[in-house]
Amino acid sequence: MRYGMVIDLTKCSRCHGCVAACRVEHFLPLHVTWVKLIAYETEDAGVVDVSTFPVRCNQCKEAPCVDVCPTGASHQRPDGIVEITASKCIGCRYCVIACPYQNRTFLSKELDPGYFPGHARTRFEEKGKKLYPHQRGTTMKCNFCLERIDYGMKNNLKPGVDRDATPACVNTCQARALTFGDLDDPESNVSKLLRERKPIQLQRELGTDPSVYYIDGKIGGKDNKAPASAQTGSHIQHLSSVEARAREVFPHLKENK
């Protein structure tokens, strides 16, 4: 068994729903995000466009972060998920350096000032501290919502199919760009997608064998833009903000007609 995720870039509407869902699910501190959207600019015949690319911990099969951890705090579960046991982490940050995907975060005091710095914690935060206590001075990252997977396994639910056993970002994705499941099961949704489409892994040449795959290799190309059917208010709102920002940075940009 090896859990993995397939991200269909042609469907992603860049709504940041996965980012928000992850933050809420794990009560993440103010300046920490486990799921990130990379922004990058492309230019086609003088027309500059900004695209996004969702990334998270790749749960590598040959994880460098696990190899370098001096205490065994970073370890791989039998289902392939790379987990950090915070109580064992000494905060050496070797894993942060060794991760080729820069998907680990060292939780310092600066990253966790409270949701409203200088004010008392909200009830939401207080609850989060009990339900999902993040330890300052240790490293953190996406864990495929393993608490949901564990809950699902105990209750005969199927991760990737049953919502209660599926990562929060996958449940939230409005465009259904994220698919989760067992990569070793040939009948799982992810395995079918991998067979039918051409998946890519990030920095495959490093031999880390990530469990997160991306559909559509035309990164940054025209085909990578979300179809009109997937565009929502939030999508358009986001794009307009990006365009406004791009014009601030590149004032010479021509009108995109």
Interface with another protein (CB under 8 A): 16, 19, 36-43, 52-53, 55, 64, 66-73, 88-94, 96-102, 106-108, 135-139, 202-203, 206, 219-220, 238, 241-242, 245
Least distance between another protein and beta carbon 159 (Å):
26
Report in angstroms how near the CB of residue 128 gets to another protein at its nearest.
20
Nearer to another protein, 191 or 232 (CB): 232
Strands 82-84 and 74-76: antiparallel
Which residue number, 19 or 145, has a Cβ lying nearer to another protein? 19
Closer of 33 and 189 to another protein (Cβ): 33
State in angstroms the smallest separation of the CB of 225 from another protein: 15
Cβ distance to another protein smaller for residue 55 or 165:
55
**Could you tell me the smallest distance in angstroms from the CB atom of residue 176 to another protein?**
21
